[in-house]
Amino acid sequence: MIEDNLIELGTMQEFKDSMFNILKNYDSKACNLMISGGSIIKCLDCDQLETLDTLQWKIFFCDERCEEKHSNFKSASSFLEKIRGEVFPIKILANSEESAKNYEDILKKNIHKIDVCLLGIGENGHICSLWPNSESLNSKALVERVEVDCNASSVRITVTLCFINQFVKNLIFVIPPKNGKSKGIKKPDKSIIERLKVGYKVYFMKY
């Protein structure tokens, strides 16, 4: 039996349609939207978004890779071109600790909540740039510099679970197919789930 917060989809187009149906609720309305990079961007590659009035939207990023060639912001260009609101990328500075502090200041200044947070889930169960069982899961900061075991930029800036628990109103995990196949996961790693204090939904590819 599929749990109520798990939504099973069959095709990439269904993922795109589902993301559009979530975001169209904010047509002509204010919306603070936070996104991750990677697979989420493919799900947001939807021409229907151009039919929405997004002037009051603010777009934030949950994490960023400190190597420019792997930038989440750059990979999101196809989505951002369809949005007429304000975009708040994570600026990568020479000192990555300063990058984290800078983005935390931006978040504190510009939001009191995130209306919708769309996050992917890595094959190891990580979200944002928060790896399972890492010390960063217990961070009291809102944004942190982290080092992760990954070829695509090991040094990253990421929001924390503390931020998600305090500021996210609607948390949605999205696990689209990879190379046409299911990733074989339905949830973040247990070490992350047990620290989440907000409800969530998961859109995943059926096995």
* Position 148 in a domain: yes
Q: Could you read off the pLDDT of 15-72 as tens digits, one per residue?
A: 999 999 999 999 999 999 999 988 899 999 999 999 999 999 999 999 999 888 889 9
- pLDDT at position 184: 83
* Position 50 in a domain: yes
* Position 166 in a domain: yes
CATH number of the domain bearing residue 97? 3.40.50.1360
- pLDDT at position 196: 97
Domain that holds residue 70: 7-198
- pLDDT at position 45: 92
Q: Are 198 and 1 in contact (CB under 8 A)?
A: no
**DSSP character string of 109-171:** HH-S-EEEEEEE--TTS-BTTB-TT-GGGG--SSEEEEE-S-SS-SEEEEE-HHHHHHHEEEE
Percent of the chain exceeding pLDDT 70 equals 96
pTM, two decimals, is 0.94
- pLDDT at position 69: 83
- pLDDT at position 137: 98
* Position 129 in a domain: yes
Average predicted confidence (pLDDT) for the chain? 93
Give the pairing of strands 114-120 and 6-9.
unpaired
* Position 161 in a domain: yes
* Position 205 in a domain: no
- At position 193, the amino acid (one-letter code) is I
- The segments of the chain whose pLDDT lies below 50 read 1-2
- pLDDT at position 38: 86
* Position 206 in a domain: no
Domain count, the chain: 1
Q: What share of the chain is helix, strand, coil (3-state, %, to 5)?
A: 30, 25, 40
* Position 106 in a domain: yes
**DSSP character string of 69-102:** GG-HHHHTHHHHTT--SEEE-----SSHHHHHHH
